[in-house]
């Protein structure tokens, strides 16, 4: 049975909550990612996605140069362990209607992230979603 460790992305970008949306968006562009884990010095405190920036800030006419990721983050992280099964994580994501989960070790240290695309590639690589997830991003 496959585990989270087999499918998770270990290259996770973290930024402090006082990071502005402009800086976070530039980091996302430079790193070619769509999410950032907000870390407060005690571990993961929240998650911000490119969609969060659009829906929670830009659409609300908030100033991206002064609004911080800490202000718009999703604070209630759903976390999993590296040894959890891929199937259990897929069910957790479905039940919580989320697209990403943060992976923490037994000391609650951040070790990875799993997206719905990661699961699609692993569970059904021939599916349309699996194919989209494997495709090179548009720049």
- pTM of the entire predicted model: 0.84
Task: Give the C-alpha separation, 120 to 67, whole Å.
Answer: 33
**CA–CA distances in Å: residue 24 to residues 32, 72, 103:** 12, 12, 21
pLDDT tens readout for residues 10-42 = 999 999 999 999 999 999 999 999 999 999 888
Q: What is the CA radius of gyration of the chain?
A: 15
For residue 85, name the pLDDT band (cuts at 50, 70, 90): very high
Identify the bridge partners of residue 79 per DSSP, sorted by sequence position.
102
Close Cβ partners of 13 (under 8 Å, ≥ 6 residues apart): 27, 28, 31, 33, 36, 37
Q: How many CB atoms lie within 10 A of CB 95?
A: 9
* Alpha carbons 73 and 88: distance in angstroms, whole number: 25
Q: What is the CATH number of domain 4-134?
A: 3.10.580.10
């Amino acid at each position: 049975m496959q585990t989270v460790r087999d499918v998770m992305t270990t290259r996770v970008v973290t930024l402090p909550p006082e990071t502005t949306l402009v800086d976070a968006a530039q980091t996302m562009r430079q790193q070619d990612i769509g999410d950032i884990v907000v870390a407060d010095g005690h571990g993961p405190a929240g998650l911000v996605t490119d969609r969060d920036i659009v829906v929670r800030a830009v659409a609300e006419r908030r100033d991206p140069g002064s609004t911080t990721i800490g202000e718009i983050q999703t604070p209630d992280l759903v976390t999993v362990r590296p040894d959890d099964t891929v199937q259990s994580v897929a069910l957790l994501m479905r039940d919580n209607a989320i697209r990403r989960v943060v992976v923490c070790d037994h000391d609650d240290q951040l070790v990875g992230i799993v997206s719905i695309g990661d699961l699609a590639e692993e569970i059904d690589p021939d599916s349309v979603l699996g194919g989209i997830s494997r495709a090179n991003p548009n720049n």
